[in-house]
Structure 1
Amino acid sequence: MVSQSWIFEKRNISYYDLQKTLSTQSDYQAMPAKVSQQILMILEKNTQKLFSSERSL
């Protein structure tokens, strides 16, 4: 989802948008809330680093 958004729309999906989108998914709901929140925070941090490095090329 994040990579497709970047490839086709040249935009990064925020933590809140990801959380809103994934909240209806059964796999996401099956995880403890702390775990799912930490995963999204780490994902957002890493994608921001990746995308900022790609923009600087």
Structure 2
Amino acid sequence: THRDERMAYLHKSFPHYDWNKNKGYPTKAHREAILQYGITIHHRRSFRQLPGVEQGTLFS
């Protein structure tokens, strides 16, 4: 799918998020990477990533 291809592409620039494996779903490893590295401009901001991690706004 298009999203899977996009996640594989993003993985090349952001390998610590494991987007090539999780396809954008919040696995344990992905959540740990968010805690360690923060979120990127590519993370969806329409829902809370993790408790205690600042959530962006949908229409900012």
TM-score by length of 1: 0.25
Question: Going by fraction, where is helix more abundant, 1 or 2?
Answer: 1
Question: Which has the higher Rg, Structure 1 or Structure 2?
Answer: 1
TM-score by length of 2: 0.24
